[in-house]
A and B are shown apart, each in its own frame.
Chain A
């Protein structure tokens, strides 16, 4: 199963919204994947075996080195944007 991590600064709130919406989009795309919400302090551990990190353009510089695709989401509530970018990253 593919693994996706949603990242925010504090680990509550925004990464949760992105997680919920990513799960909706994955269901729409028919992709089986596990989505985990995390924060900047835990992203290295949580994203160690993830294919994709979804996050804000503002947080990319906090991720550090990773093998995952880092996908910037501008609007966390725009399902079409999330779908387009996830489809591209996973497809």
Chain B
């Protein structure tokens, strides 16, 4: 299974966040607007960071916001938030963050293939900078290698 679809509603490009919490909430809001999750999921993504720290900042400038599968997840989903002004998450090496990816999965097994696809994309060292600079939904989907699904 490739990456989940990435409709325009799952994108928030050039957003402003005053801190990491708001940045994660924006990624959750985008997942919610795309129909993948309910509003509770964003709060759970914030709780993961409050409990375990900024480990979700997996590379310089990139946070992968996520929480465990739960009843607030309707469908597997991906969202992308780019920040005009990077924010600090408190990671010892990878701050500040300018790209927040939101990820929602319904089962631990389901996420493996999608995550492998994400790893592929981000193993290219230029991907994070390209995403941070992207200004259109088409360019974000192109960078991530996701085809645009025309919704009816």
Contacts and interface: CB of A to CB of B under 8 A. Distances in A.
Interface of A: 8-14, 16-18, 20-21, 40, 55-59, 62, 74-79
B103 A13 contact: yes
Contacts, number: 91
B92 A57 contact: yes
A12 B105 CA distance: 8
A74 B93 contact: yes
Interface string B49-71: 00111111011101010111100
Interface residues of B, number: 32
A58 B53 contact: yes
A57 to B, nearest CB: 5
Contact of B115 (A16, A56, A75): A16
B68 A11 contact: yes
Nearest to B69: A12
B119 interface: yes
A12 B58 contact: no
B48 interface: yes
B116 A14 contact: no
Contacts of B151: none
Contacts of B67: 10
Nearest to B63: A14
A74 B53 CA distance: 14
A61 to B, nearest CB: 9
Contact of A56 (B48, B55, B60, B69): B55
